Structure 1
């Protein structure tokens, strides 16, 4: 079974993101970049399937400029067998990402595609669902557990009312939630081996996709700072402020 995993280059989740002074975009100068945490979970799940003997090959794919090869190499160090970069310039919106991934799916014919449920920069939570619609493949989103049984895939997903279990025919698409697994750290020997693993580069034209933009970013600004709290002298004063000022009771 061949597994395709999408990984995205994002600002490291430990970094405090700042907007540019003119509000045109996020300031990325000298900022640490890493794999999107949900994508890292997706890589870990694919590698575990390979270690269990269920998967035979794990392919990591990323969309972006040459810098995203760093994240592909990280996925290779975590256990992926080979990488694919779809070379684009600038930010690419979810619909175009889904079309490009569809092109890769058609080339590679994987039995399972695993994506992070969303990226921590855009937080769109759209690509996996759009890819499912474009490829007409069944999908299990927000997966907290998956199990392969022959050509069937059981996906336990987190919903508002608790847990929901789906049975999907493969090939299928899964988007990973936080509780699917805990990603491993790449060891130094595996980091060195990853440098020698194959990495193919495609252009959107190679996949028959034209990169277009339907969305325009108007401005970027930091969230409003929280105001300092106040101390009250009595319960009566607290109730009065909650009722007349905060208007929550």
Structure 2
């Protein structure tokens, strides 16, 4: 990892109170970046990083656009700009199609996708004039194809990946670097709900290091761990008549 790349970069992490978000905040701070952390609970943010000259603890709820606007205003007041926005907020409830609950589906979509829209609507106006930067949306390998137990999560993350593709097309010519992240399995409070074996399970600190390396690169999609995600990505090329039987056999679902 190139520490000079991160020195004094102004980074806003939304969804930074646990899991990959918390580990990424700690890794960025250790690399010399200025880090603004947002999540709903201030006490959880304080447990991730103590407030210091390079850290802002800014409680905000991605389902409340006004709270995001207030956090963003504090960043501009303190740092006069922003170099990197990372959207890490996520919600997950495993479910099969016969257990569809509309309220759960709407709640997860609101956090995983609409929350990112709110964050972008907050940060993008005026950003280009202050000096364009980097936008990173943390999606999931589950966004790439339909999977069992992913009734709510997969479609919401697929929408996030699609959004990142559109942003890349529109904003790259304006000086922004847009990336999407497709992690495999990472040991977080969300994946702790899974009752099946998770291959190539990473610890949050390992995922954070992979994320930092990816954010230093020019590529659009950041995927890890490579041993798992490269094989899974090949499934996108399979015709449906092969994909559906294969995934049923592989998952035994």
Which structure carries more relative contact order (alpha carbon 8 Å, separation 6+)? 1
Same fold, TM exceeding 0.5? no
- Report the structure, 1 or 2, having the larger helix content: 2
- Given the two structures, how large is their TM-score scaled by the length of structure 2? 0.36
